[in-house]
Each structure stands twice: as structure tokens, then as C-alpha cells.
């Protein structure tokens, strides 16, 4: 190094800058190498070679610094760090030999050459040419470092490495943290750091401490190692789901803590729950409605059956009453007909809609056979449903007149106009001593009239009168 004292200040500064740049590049090589994912024996040997290269650059920088120090003190001293220079050379040579057996090691080979050119033995042997050898060593380390940096960077981009894993983690919307069993954080992404700042106001370096002091006390447990944390410093109050689980990695147990923003999912779940509750409420209402409809249908069917039974039995009783009133007994043919249902009760009701006029003719003839005359003034309307209803009301009214008033003459006046059909039924019976209490017969006739939008009234002056008014539809009236 004695020849460096004869160089100008500019050359010595250039050597100083070159050694500093060398040290920075070799340090970058070591850092990038540590991000490699494959951690086999070759990995550790290459890491050792990178560390030795860093030591060599530090020794080179120290040698140049010694020259500066001696010039400022006015002394010329021989170079130092002799043992360190030999140790680096021997260690680099050993690593190079070991790696050469398994794989090509460009870095360790360059390190052996660079450390050889800076040895005290080389300094004594080269003499005045030692600055050139020293410069060659610096250039070898510089170019080798640049080449290795490019190679490692390309390898990290195209393969799995600690750096690529960290980059992927930082790109996630989910906060992720890996720590040891004691809580010491090994790796965490930017999202987790941001979340720590939002929830605790600072970044933690112990994952379990952050979880136990900030997350769990202010969260709602929603399962095994799962917690819902609601932000309190936000207007909207975003919701975060923290999940903790242990994983096996290289014979060690690591703890993974993740946190995901579930605000939108929570809102969707609330809306879905409200919709489900609404559907459930509608289902109950529909079920109740169906049950009510079924009950109404059963009631209507019971009323219809009751009315049919009432009509049939009433007609039979009227016949028996007439026979007894006149002191006569029915002959065998009439008795058999009576027993079978002379008025064809159920069959009559079923067939009435088909031909109401024919039904009326049959009823008039049957009543005439027992001494009761039914006088019909007017014609049935062309509307089948109204005509069928009148054919039902008339025999019921006649039966009531005969049963309760001992009538022998029944009068039915049918009037048609543009708006309604009116049928008035009277008889020659005496007025009842008191107002008639309506039973199943009149009530049934009223219900049937109301089904078609009409009504049925009972009058007592000047004689008992039953009036049915049924509205007509405009289209059918014109027809």
C-alpha cells in the first residue's frame, strides 16, 4: 500500500469511492440472497461466500482509509489487517472448493481471485504494481456483484422466494401476520401494519401481544379462534374478522393471524336475514290464509249438504203432512216413491243448473199431485245462474208456506228489467201470530242470493211475502 501515498488526491478519492460502492453492492448481494426460498446446504455456503465478500470489501475500504489517516498524520506505515486478509482468502478458497464439487459457484470463485490480489504476499511480490492488482480486485468485486445482483433479481422474480412471497402478501386486501409461538413476528404485510395503526395507534412487533391486548378485549367471539372487531373511529364502523391458527413449518409451530374486511358481507347477511324473516312471515300468513280458505270451503260444503238434506227431508215431510191432513194414507206406489225421495232432492239440485225451467215444471207437477197449486207469473231470465237460483228458491218458499202456514196456493211473480230480476212469492196461508224466526231454509236462500250479488227479504203485509232481487250483468241483459 506504500505506492498509494504517491498518488494524487483525486486518485485516492476515486479509490475510496470505489471501495464504498463495492461494499454497498456486495451488501445488496447478501440481502437479496437471503430472500431465496431454497434453504439447503448450498444456500448457506453461498450466504457465507457473500458475507466473506462483504468482509473483503470492508478490508479494502479500511486499507484506503489507513492511507488517508497516515497522510493526515504525516506518517508512512506499511499496510495492516494481514491476518484478516489471509483468513478471508483461506475461507473463500475452502467454500469455493466445496461448492465446486456440487455446483458452479461464480461468486466464490471471484472472491478467491479478489482476495488473492489483495494479500500481503501479493503486495510484496508485485511491488509497485500492487495498486494495479488492488484496482483489479475492486473491479472484479464490482462487476461480479452487479452480475450476481441481476441474476438473483431475475431468479426472485421468476421463482418462489421470500421476496416474492412478501410482494404477494403486500398485494392482498387481507391483513396477514406470521409469528413464533412467543409472538415474535417473522413476516407481516402492509395491510396488517395499517390495521395495527388504525386499531392500536402503533405497529406491534409481537403478534400475540397485539392480539391479546387490542383485538380480543374489543371483539366479539364468533367461533374457535375467530373474532369480530368493529372499528370505533370510523363513521361507518367497518367490521373485521380476525382468525388465528397454528401451522407447522420446518419442525416449528408458527401462528398465523389474518384479518379480513367483512363489512359488505355483514350488510348482505343482515339484508338476507331480513328477507328470510319477511318470507317466513309471509309463509305463516299464507299458511293461515290457506287454512282459513279450507275452513271456509268446509263450512260452505257443510251448508250446502245441510241445505240439500233440508230440502229433501222437508219435501218428504210436506207429503206426509198433506196425507195426514186429508186423513189419507199413501198407496204403495206413492209410499215407495216417498221412501226413495219423490222430489229427487239431491239429484234435483245437481241437475238444476242444466235446465231450470224443466225443474220448475217437475216441482209444479209434484206439488199439484199433493193438492198444492203453484202459480208462476212470468218467465225465467235467460241467465242460467239466475234462473237456477230462482228454481231453487221457489220450491223452498213453497215448502215453508205449506209446512208453517198450511197453504194450498202459492203465487210466484217473476219480473225482468234491465238491471235486475225480481221474484215475489206469496201464498194463501194465514199470517203467523208473531214474526218468523229465520231458520236454515230462509238463511240458505239468502246466502245463495248473496253469492250472485242479490238479496232476499221477508215481508208480512198484507200477507207473508218472500222477495228475491238478483242484479243482471249488462252484457247478458243486452244479449
Please tell me the total count of domains within the chain.
3
Q: Please state the length of the chain.
A: 479
The enclosing domain of 252 has a CATH number of 3.30.450.20
| pTM for the model | 0.38
Question: Rounded to an integer, what distance in angstroms lies between the CA atom of residue 54 and that of residue 3?
Answer: 25
Identify whether residues 393 and 432 lie together within a single domain. Answer: yes
Q: Is 456 helix (H, G, I), strand (E, B) or coil?
A: strand
Identify whether residues 363 and 474 lie together within a single domain. Answer: yes
* Backbone φ, ψ for residue 143 (5° rounding): -65, -40
Query: Quick one: cell of 236?
Result: 361507518
Identify whether residues 25 and 88 lie together within a single domain. Answer: yes
Identify whether residues 114 and 141 lie together within a single domain. Answer: yes
Identify whether residues 17 and 140 lie together within a single domain. Answer: yes
**Is the confidence at residue 282, as pLDDT, over 70?**
yes
Residue 288, domain member (yes or no): no
Q: How far are the Cα atoms of 90, 405, 450, 453 from residue 456, in angstroms, in the given order?
A: 125, 20, 8, 11
Residue 272, domain member (yes or no): no
Residue 286, domain member (yes or no): no
Identify whether residues 363 and 340 lie together within a single domain. Answer: yes
Q: Do 90 and 74 contact (CB within 8 A), yes or no?
A: no
Question: Rounded to an integer, what distance in angstroms lies between the CA atom of residue 135 and that of residue 10?
Answer: 15
Q: Is 95 helix (H, G, I), strand (E, B) or coil?
A: helix
Q: Which of 210, 239, 261 is the last residue of a domain?
A: 261
Identify whether residues 223 and 147 lie together within a single domain. Answer: no
Question: Rounded to an integer, what distance in angstroms lies between the CA atom of residue 31 and that of residue 44?
Answer: 13
Q: Are strands 409-416 and 373-377 parallel, antiparallel or unpaired?
A: parallel
The residue with cell 382468525 is 243
What one-character DSSP code corresponds to residue 129? G
3-state DSSP percent of the chain in helix, strand and coil, to 5: 65, 15, 20
pLDDT of residue 37: 58
**Average pLDDT of the residues in 287-311:** 65
pLDDT of residue 237: 67
Q: Which of 125, 144, 163 is the last residue of a domain?
A: 163
Identify whether residues 158 and 183 lie together within a single domain. Answer: no
Residues 6+ apart with CB under 8 A from 352: 359, 388, 391, 392
Residues 6+ apart with CB under 8 A from 72: none
Residue 19, domain member (yes or no): yes
pLDDT tens-digit readout, 161-203 = 566 677 777 888 889 998 988 889 888 888 998 889 888 888 8
pLDDT band at 31 (very low <50, low <70, confident <90, very high): confident
Residue 388, domain member (yes or no): yes
* Backbone φ, ψ for residue 422 (5° rounding): -120, 130
**Average pLDDT of the residues in 310-339:** 54
Query: Quick one: cell of 134?
Result: 488492488
**Average pLDDT of the residues in 29-36:** 76
Identify whether residues 366 and 231 lie together within a single domain. Answer: no
Identify whether residues 55 and 143 lie together within a single domain. Answer: yes
Q: Which of 261, 292, 325 is the last residue of a domain?
A: 261
Q: Do 353 and 392 contact (CB within 8 A), yes or no?
A: no
Q: Which residues of 101-127 are buried (b: 16+ CB within 10 A; e: fewer)?
A: eeeebebbbbbbebbbbbbbebbeeee
Q: Is 382 helix (H, G, I), strand (E, B) or coil?
A: coil
Q: Which domain holds residue 231?
A: 173-261
pLDDT tens-digit readout, 352-382 = 446 888 888 888 887 887 778 899 999 999 8
pLDDT tens-digit readout, 108-166 = 777 888 888 888 888 778 777 877 888 888 888 888 888 888 887 777 666 655 666 77
Helix (H), strand (E), coil (C) string for 270-291: HHHHHHHHHHHHHHHHHHHHHH
Residue 296, domain member (yes or no): no
Identify whether residues 10 and 159 lie together within a single domain. Answer: yes
Long-range CB contacts (< 8 A, 24+ apart) of 210-214?
A: 211/242, 211/244, 211/257
Identify whether residues 370 and 430 lie together within a single domain. Answer: yes
Amino acid at each position: 500500500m506504500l505506492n498509494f501515498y504517491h498518488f494524487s488526491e483525486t486518485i485516492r478519492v476515486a479509490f475510496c469511492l470505489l471501495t464504498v460502492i463495492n461494499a454497498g453492492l456486495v451488501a445488496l448481494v447478501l440481502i437479496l440472497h437471503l430472500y431465496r426460498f431454497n434453504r439447503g446446504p448450498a444456500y448457506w455456503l453461498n450466504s457465507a461466500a457473500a458475507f466473506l465478500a462483504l468482509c473483503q470489501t470492508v478490508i479494502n475500504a479500511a486499507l484506503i482509509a489507513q492511507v488517508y489517516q497516515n497522510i493526515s498524520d504525516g506518517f508512512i506505515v506499511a499496510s495492516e489487517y494481514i491476518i484478516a486478509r489471509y483468513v478471508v482468502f483461506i475461507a473463500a478458497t475452502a467454500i469455493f472448493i466445496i461448492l465446486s464439487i456440487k455446483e458452479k459457484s461464480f461468486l466464490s470463485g471471484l472472491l478467491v481471485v479478489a482476495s488473492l490480489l489483495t494479500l500481503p504476499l501479493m503486495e510484496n511480490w508485485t511491488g509497485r504494481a500492487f495498486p494495479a492488482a488492488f484496482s483489479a480486485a475492486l473491479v472484479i468485486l464490482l462487476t461480479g456483484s452487479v452480475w450476481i445482483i441481476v441474476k438473483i433479481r431475475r431468479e426472485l422474480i421468476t421463482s418462489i422466494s421470500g421476496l416474492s412471497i412478501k410482494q404477494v402478501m403486500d398485494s392482498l386486501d387481507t391483513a396477514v401476520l406470521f409469528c413464533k409461538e412467543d409472538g415474535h413476528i417473522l413476516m407481516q404485510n402492509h395491510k396488517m401494519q395499517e390495521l395495527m395503526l388504525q386499531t392500536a395507534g402503533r405497529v406491534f412487533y409481537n403478534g400475540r401481544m397485539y392480539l391479546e391486548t387490542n383485538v380480543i378485549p374489543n371483539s366479539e367471539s364468533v367461533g374457535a379462534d375467530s373474532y369480530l372487531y368493529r372499528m370505533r373511529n370510523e363513521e361507518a364502523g367497518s367490521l373485521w374478522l380476525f382468525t388465528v391458527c397454528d401451522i407447522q413449518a420446518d419442525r416449528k409451530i408458527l401462528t398465523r393471524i389474518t384479518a379480513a374486511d367483512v363489512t359488505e358481507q355483514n350488510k348482505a347477511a343482515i339484508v338476507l336475514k331480513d328477507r328470510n324473516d319477511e318470507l317466513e312471515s309471509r309463509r305463516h300468513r299464507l299458511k293461515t290464509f290457506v287454512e282459513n280458505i279450507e275452513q271456509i270451503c268446509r263450512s260452505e260444503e257443510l251448508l250446502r249438504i245441510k241445505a240439500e238434506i233440508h230440502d229433501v227431508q222437508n219435501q218428504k215431510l210436506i207429503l206426509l203432512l198433506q196425507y195426514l191432513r186429508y186423513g189419507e194414507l199413501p198407496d204403495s206406489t206413492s209410499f215407495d216413491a216417498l221412501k226413495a225421495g219423490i222430489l229427487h232432492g239431491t239429484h234435483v239440485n245437481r241437475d238444476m243448473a242444466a235446465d231450470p225451467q224443466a225443474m220448475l215444471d217437475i216441482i209444479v207437477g209434484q206439488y199439484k199431485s199433493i193438492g198444492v197449486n203453484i202459480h208462476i207469473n212470468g218467465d225465467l231470465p235467460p241467465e242460467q245462474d239466475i234462473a237456477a237460483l230462482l228454481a231453487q228458491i221457489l220450491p223452498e218458499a213453497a215448502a215453508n208456506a205449506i209446512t208453517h202456514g198450511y197453504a194450498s196456493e202459492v203465487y210466484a211473480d217473476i219480473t225482468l228489467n234491465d238491471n235486475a230480476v225480481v221474484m215475489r212469492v206469496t201464498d194463501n196461508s194465514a199470517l203467523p201470530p208473531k214474526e218468523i224466526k229465520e231458520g236454515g231454509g230462509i238463511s240458505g236462500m239468502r246466502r245463495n242470493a248473496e253469492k250472485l250479488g242479490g238479496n232476499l227479504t221477508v215481508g208480512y203485509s198484507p200477507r207473508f211475502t218472500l222477495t228475491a232481487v238478483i242484479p243482471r250483468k249488462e252484457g247478458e241483459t243486452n244479449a
